[in-house]
Amino acid sequence: MEWIGFANYAVFMAIFICIYALLSLGLNIQWGFTGLFNAGIAGFFAVGAYTSAVLTSPAADGRLGGFDLPFWVGWIGAMVAAALIAWPIGKICLRFRSDYLAIATIGVAEIIRLVIKSEDWLTNSARGITDIPRPLGDLSYTMSQLAYLGIVMAILLVAYLMVERQIASPWGRMMRAIRDNEDAARAMGKDVPYRRLEAFIFGSALMGLGGALFAHFNRSITPEAIDPMVATFLVWIMLILGGSGNNRGAILGVAVVWIIWSLSEIVTDQFPHEYAVKAKYLRIFLIGLMLQLVLRFRPEGLLPEASGERKPVGKPSD
């Protein structure tokens, strides 16, 4: 039946949108609220995916683990691992302008890619890690898809509420102050590199969680599962188009870009083979062009950052 296939596809897309939304929220903390340029999103994503895979998959010969732990341990582990990678990088680079962080995060993502591809004992290199358990994964196909969608939506909602609360708090105000006028914030006695480090680690942990959710959704993870440049860039265009500095915008941007991206893939897959390969690169070209157009004509994005005073969270309005 046609509509069941369609509904299954819609659920599949919705799960991906939720996973990318976590990445986009993570980037929003780093870029939108703090002004940090992370060009290695795919690296933190991969660290999260592999950490959770190693922690939760059943024991296997020839590589570390698996430790067969419950999925939530894997997810927490993914966040911790991504944060642990972010910490030294942030520590070294956040004293300087964000350009240095951009270069360093490109480097980190590249090193992570090399490690994943070549360290047999850790990641099973090219064959990847399989048999990653999916929570509620033993239901029928449609039901387990729906159940997983429910789980990722719940996680996204919790993450969204936490980030919203954090951003509306004095901490969030301080972060925007640092982003908008570093010197003034420093003059007010704020420890700028330390605060930036907090935001960088916090955002990276969310990216790691996104990676873990992806690995459990696919039930496997291989080095080829995700194209690092394209994934990183997609998250960037999602956030910029949606509206950096606005969490709802960050999520809206994900939905818009992911739907365009997936539908364009369906269209180009209909082409004869020799054109289909070229069309893949044409899509990448157009997504790059889209960023240029948004930066030039609508830099504030679809849902701009709220300006002016926000109502403080947790205080009665007086």
In the bound complex, what is the minimum distance in angstroms from residue 229's beta carbon to other proteins?
7
Residues 94-113 that bind other proteins (CB under 8 A): 95-100, 102-104, 106-108, 110-111
Partners of 221 in beta bridges: 129
Which one of 6, 10, 72, 117 is in contact with other proteins (CB under 8 A)? 117
CB 90 within 8 A of CB 195: no
Which one of 33, 37, 200, 217 is in contact with other proteins (CB under 8 A)? 37
Sign of CA pseudo-dihedral 148, 150, 155, 160: positive
Nearest Cα residue to 230 out of 20, 9, 6: 20
Residues 130-169 that bind other proteins (CB under 8 A): none
Does residue number 43 form part of the binding site for other proteins (CB under 8 A)?
A: no
Give the CA dihedral 7, 154, 34, 316, nearest 10 degrees.
130
C-alpha–C-alpha distance, residues 247 and 254, integer Å:
11
Our CB check for other proteins shows the closer of 251 and 287 to be 287
Our CB check for other proteins shows the closer of 108 and 155 to be 108
Our CB check for other proteins shows the closer of 134 and 195 to be 195
Our CB check for other proteins shows the closer of 114 and 158 to be 114
Binding mask 249-278 for other proteins (x = CB under 8 A): ----------------------------xx
C-alpha–C-alpha distance, residues 236 and 205, integer Å:
17
What is the full DSSP assignment across 225-256?
GS-HHHHHHHHHHHHHHH-TT-HHHHHHHHHH
Our CB check for other proteins shows the closer of 101 and 251 to be 101
Residues 279-318 that bind other proteins (CB under 8 A): 281-282, 284-285, 287-289, 291-292, 295-296, 299
In the bound complex, what is the minimum distance in angstroms from residue 118's beta carbon to other proteins?
4
DSSP letter at 59 equals: P
Binding mask 196-215 for other proteins (x = CB under 8 A): --------------------
User: Structure tokens of 198?
Assistant: 């907090």
Residues in the chain: 318
Which one of 23, 25, 39, 255 is in contact with other proteins (CB under 8 A)? 39
In the bound complex, what is the minimum distance in angstroms from residue 45's beta carbon to other proteins?
17
Task: Count CB atoms within 10 A of the CB of residue 105.
Answer: 28
Please, which residues have CB within 8 angstroms of residue 49's CB and are 6 or more apart in sequence? 78, 211, 212, 214, 215, 221, 225
Binding site for other proteins (CB under 8 A): 35, 37, 39, 89, 92-93, 95-100, 102-104, 106-108, 110-111, 114, 117-118, 229-230, 233, 236-237, 240, 277-278, 281-282, 284-285, 287-289, 291-292, 295-296, 299
